[in-house]
Chain A
Amino acid sequence: MNHSLISDRPQRQSWQPGRLFQLLHIDAMLLFGLLLLLGVGLMMLYSASGQDSSLIIRQLVRLGVALGAMLVVAQIHPDRMRDSAYWLYAFGLILLVAVLLFGHEGKGAQRWLNLGFFRFQPSEIIKLAVPILVAAFLAERPLPPSVLRLLTSLVLIGLPAFLIAKQPDLGTAILIASSGLIVLFLAGISWKLIIGFISACAAAAPVLWYFMHDYQRRRVLTFLNPENDPLGAGYHIIQSKIAIGSGGTFGQGWLQGSQSHLEFLPERSTDFIFAVIAEEFGLAGAALLLCLYLLIAGRGLFIASQAQSSFSRLLAGSISITFLVYVFVNVGMVTGLLPVVGVPLPLVSYGGTSMVTLLAGFGILMSIHTHRRMMSP
């Protein structure tokens, strides 16, 4: 077949923002949504940090780096990503093992690798490498995947997830596992298998329960219901619920949240920042924020549906849905729906490492969308 493949036409002379975005491989709608979210995030951070402008500046620097990373990734053709999937994955895995062996301990967990001039978390590389690899691997053959391919994918997902869970960083391990499992889901594994898997897990639980020691059962119960443990994990949840609940329908107003400003809400700039939002802007603000997340992910899903190869579809779909899983795990924890696992609210919580990875992920979405080959008219 002979397509004439033109992405933009040099003959046009007038200044068009659409053309500029296309030239830079940027998706304008996605960028707009992200900037809106980041703006809201900075505003909330300013309030949650007790109006600490130096902290805002540090966050802005990180944001600059992260947006730069997004722009760079957007320039890479999806085919290159597919070609280097195995290398990226292997590289990430080696680093994970290195962390377990020589890692730098921070806050009681080994997650950091100190390279002399800077420290970084190999789990961030794996966050992108897993969906890229599984998508590339499954797209090699017709979909839905064979049982052997399915099992191989499960190993590819489970290995890094296990290593990260050992660090121990359960939150990240869950996110990485779900990013891979979402690719499998999108690749069309049969509903029978999905339902079978879920019911097998449900059936295994009581059996496992029966064989557990008393103290292990107690731990599981505390994990599921932290309020049983008011001096430990439950403390965060109790304070967080009070902050959210006292926000009411329209909130107490920006910078007016009493719970967050008095020192009682812990981790309020990081994992529990959603409680500050819910207190200051109420149900209305919190629901709007959730809608913004849904819209961004929705744009990502649209990009996935328009993609031109199975690899791109799977990858774009996984990145978009994982983004929502991120939000759900955090908000679920803060509102007391889910157990406490340390996952920040994406693109809003203070902290840099996950921001770079998240925006790099959106760079992939942009690359997929802007590298489409269009039929010439």
Chain B
Amino acid sequence: MSSRFTLKDHFRESRLINGRLLVAALISILVFSVVVVRLVVLQVFEYEHFDSLSNRNRVDIEPLPPQRGLIYDRNGVLIAENIPTFSLEMVPEKVTDVDATLSELAKLVALTEEDITDFRDRLQRHRRFQQVVIRQRLTEEEVARFSANRYRFPGVDIQGRLIRHYPQGNLFAHAVGYVGRINERELQIIDQQDYKGTLQIGKTGVEKEYEDILHGEVGYRQVETNVQGRIVRELMSVSSHSGDDLFLNLDINLQRVASESLTDYNGSIVAMDPRTGGVLALVSKPDFDPNLFVSGISSKDYAELRDSPDRPLYDRALRGSYPPGSTLKPFVALAGLELGVVTEHSKTYCPGWYTLPGHDHRYRCWKHQGHGMMDMNDAVSQSCDVYFYDLAHTLGIDRLHHFLDLFGFGHETGIDIPSESSGLSPSREWKRASRNQAWFPGETLISGIGQGFNQTTPIQLAHATSTLAMRGVMQEPQVVRASRKAGQDEMELRGNERINSLPMQNSQHWEAVVDSMVEVIHGARGTARHVGEDMPFQIAGKTGTAQVFGIAQDEKYDAETLERKLHDHALFIAFAPADKPEFVVAVVVENGGSGSKTAAPIARKMMIEHFGLELDEPQPDQ
């Protein structure tokens, strides 16, 4: 290419670019003129409007936090309410010297070291122009003292707030849960807009699961404030909407009976209405006072709860995993009938032990001298282990596992409370995957009597029993019965959408198993005869005892000489009336010894309370 051509090109390019530079300059001037016009509008035409807003008074916008929905039990007894408290709060952006202000405040209001460190903690994480709590629950005297000196503390004020209060104390600690300070992780999840001015959020139980509808909608108001930041006049407000009230299925009386009848045992009790899936009682012991958590639990209190060997914060009803023991037997019996392995009348001889063909290991029956000839009804009512060893062996673990699957063993029940555990219903695949081991035939026998790898939660037990009681109609357990919008009378039922029906080839199988469970209570040799005494209807039930530690083959178990921590767990499941079930209960008493002596009487008390019967205290038969 010749240099002449490049030169010519260069000249053309210069003209091109300079032309564009001119256009760009003109556009810039135009755009800046728009800005100047905007300034003229703001500063000349709207000057008076803005000047009056700014003149001594300034506009501030403050959030109006919504009132959290209340929680009632099924009788309308208040379980969670909001009570007014006064707290001392600071907007750090409005304070020039935080340290000096704190030390001045300490002369008026008692501030402990812990208050100060907690405050600094919150200061690190607070949102801009949001109040940071210095101290909560001021006494009336402190309120008065600060109010007289308020002018000295711009940016600090007393806030009347509603905070959560649980008037029933410990009784609903696990089921209803508690609210606590919003933490950083929650801050990431929530819509921060909605939580302006709100300090607390549901942490566990119903409070957490139903956070969305309990919380309500934030409002705000535009206010004029004077130079000290005090409100002079309200300009505009958009009111907040309170959260919905909740009505639970839980019955406070039943809850109380359950809680009291566990005495000082650890354990869990779940009662349900099998017709609706409604959870009537949900108790886990030991429990704790949820009020401790509301305005930030002190580290001492928390350490005490956390480090207690009894683990009071642990929700045994939903997360406690126990071997179901003999309470599994009715379900195994049903599997035998349904899969055609046994009939109602086929018999097995119990000499007190069982061996697998080709092995000489003896699997013991709990009754060492043996039960003799057993049909299904006898085997359930007298809880014969040998009958179920044999049945489980014939079924095989695969069929047994699949059948128990239907009743939700090894699965979460879907209860409307978070952090449920799924328990464990063992299978060949599970053992291969988790332990990389083959399944042994002996393990099938142990599984058949609910020991070994089996892990069940109390809610699972109640759920499966409810399904059995309803002859296959399966409903997710539901703690919340209905909700009600603030200021309205209508309740909105929070029902069960997912109702499942278990198909059985012969409905007579249900009756056979239920009959055998009635025999447990009302039969001459039933393991829980005392439960049914003087009852106006028939009860179906099953006792269970879950081994806490293994006993050598020929050793005799002696409850008296063992430490209580090593006692077996006592279990009991029941429903009543047997022919038209209205009430299901599952009881797990940790280290309670035997199901019949410890767990079954509790179920009787629950039934007496629920059905409003007037009966004497049952006498456990010795």
Q: Which residues of A contact B (CB under 8 A)?
A: 1, 142-144, 182, 185-188, 229-232, 235, 238-239, 241-249, 258-259, 262-264, 266, 278, 282-283, 286-287, 290, 293-294, 297-298, 301, 304-305, 309-310, 313-314, 317, 321, 324, 328, 331-332, 335-337
Q: Are B51 and A248 in contact (CB under 8 A)?
A: yes
Q: A245-B49, A264-B60, A335-B42 are in contact. Are A186 and B13 (CB under 8 A)?
A: no
If over half of B's interface residues share one DSSP class (helix, strand or loop), that class is named, otherwise mixed; here it is: helix
Q: Are B50 and A283 in contact (CB under 8 A)?
A: no
- Given contact pairs A245-B54, A297-B28, enumerate 20 new A-B contacts (beta carbons under 8 Å): A142-B13, A186-B17, A186-B20, A238-B59, A245-B43, A258-B56, A259-B54, A259-B58, A262-B227, A263-B94, A278-B42, A290-B36, A293-B32, A294-B32, A305-B21, A310-B10, A317-B24, A328-B31, A336-B38, A337-B35
Q: Are A242 and B59 in contact (CB under 8 A)?
A: yes
Q: Are A232 and B193 in contact (CB under 8 A)?
A: yes
Q: Are B47 and A245 in contact (CB under 8 A)?
A: yes
Closest to B95 in A: A263
CA distance A297 to B21 in the complex (A): 11
Q: A142-B9, A301-B24 are in contact. Are A290 and B54 (CB under 8 A)?
A: no
Chain B interface size band reads 35 or more
Q: Give chain A nearest CB distance to B490 CB in angstroms.
A: 27
Which residues of chain A come closer than 8 Å to B552, judged between CB atoms?
none
Which residues of chain A come closer than 8 Å to B34, judged between CB atoms?
337
Q: A188-B20, A328-B31 are in contact. Are A229 and B39 (CB under 8 A)?
A: no
Q: A231-B193, A235-B129, A324-B28 are in contact. Are A143 and B44 (CB under 8 A)?
A: no
Q: List 12 A-B contacts (CB under 8 A).
A: A188-B19, A235-B129, A243-B54, A245-B51, A245-B53, A248-B51, A278-B43, A283-B39, A301-B25, A313-B17, A335-B38, A336-B38
Q: Are A335 and B24 in contact (CB under 8 A)?
A: no
Q: Is B348 an interface residue (CB 8 A)?
A: no
Picked from B38, B46, B61, the residue with its CB within 8 Å of the CB of A238 is B61
Q: Are A294 and B29 in contact (CB under 8 A)?
A: yes
CA distance A230 to B60 in the complex (A): 10
Q: Give chain A nearest CB distance to B572 CB in angstroms.
A: 50
Which residues of chain B come closer than 8 Å to A187, judged between CB atoms?
17, 20
CA distance A258 to B57 in the complex (A): 10
CA distance A59 to B8 in the complex (A): 49
CA distance A282 to B35 in the complex (A): 14
Q: Is B196 an interface residue (CB 8 A)?
A: yes
Q: A143-B13, A310-B13 are in contact. Are A328 and B35 (CB under 8 A)?
A: yes
Q: Is B14 an interface residue (CB 8 A)?
A: yes
Q: A245-B42, A266-B128, A337-B38 are in contact. Are A231 and B49 (CB under 8 A)?
A: no
Q: Are B39 and A248 in contact (CB under 8 A)?
A: no
Closest to B196 in A: A231
Q: Give chain A nearest CB distance to B474 CB in angstroms.
A: 35
Closest to B53 in A: A242
Q: A142-B13, A244-B43 are in contact. Are A321 and B58 (CB under 8 A)?
A: no
Which residues of chain A come closer than 8 Å to B500, judged between CB atoms?
none
Q: A294-B32, A297-B28, A328-B32 are in contact. Are A242 and B54 (CB under 8 A)?
A: yes
Which residues of chain A come closer than 8 Å to B20, judged between CB atoms?
185-188, 317
Q: Are A246 and B128 in contact (CB under 8 A)?
A: no
Which residues of chain A come closer than 8 Å to B16, judged between CB atoms?
143-144, 188
Q: A182-B24, A188-B17, A242-B50 are in contact. Are A230 and B61 (CB under 8 A)?
A: yes
CA distance A278 to B47 in the complex (A): 12
Q: Are A231 and B220 in contact (CB under 8 A)?
A: yes
Which residues of chain B come closer than 8 Å to A286, judged between CB atoms?
39, 43
CA distance A286 to B39 in the complex (A): 8
Closest to A189 in B: B20
Which residues of chain B come closer than 8 Å to A144, judged between CB atoms?
16
Q: Give chain A nearest CB distance to B328 CB in angstroms.
A: 48
CA distance A246 to B53 in the complex (A): 8
Q: Are A186 and B21 in contact (CB under 8 A)?
A: yes
Q: A259-B54, A278-B39, A337-B34 are in contact. Are A248 and B44 (CB under 8 A)?
A: yes
Which residues of chain B come closer than 8 Å to A259, judged between CB atoms?
54, 58
Which residues of chain B come closer than 8 Å to A248, judged between CB atoms?
43-44, 47, 51
Interface residues of B in 192-230 (CB under 8 A from A): 193, 196, 218, 220, 222, 227
Q: Are B50 and A186 in contact (CB under 8 A)?
A: no
Q: Are A249 and B61 in contact (CB under 8 A)?
A: no
Q: Are A262 and B58 in contact (CB under 8 A)?
A: yes
Q: Is B18 an interface residue (CB 8 A)?
A: yes
Q: Are A245 and B50 in contact (CB under 8 A)?
A: yes
Which residues of chain B come closer than 8 Å to A305, judged between CB atoms?
17-18, 21
**Which 7 pairs, one residue from A and one from B, show the smallest C-beta to C-beta distance?**
A245-B50, A246-B54, A283-B43, A188-B16, A245-B42, A313-B17, A186-B20
Q: A231-B193, A235-B61, A332-B35 are in contact. Are A304 and B43 (CB under 8 A)?
A: no
CA distance A185 to B53 in the complex (A): 44
CA distance A144 to B16 in the complex (A): 8
Q: Is B40 an interface residue (CB 8 A)?
A: yes
Q: Give chain B nearest CB distance to A281 CB in angstroms.
A: 10
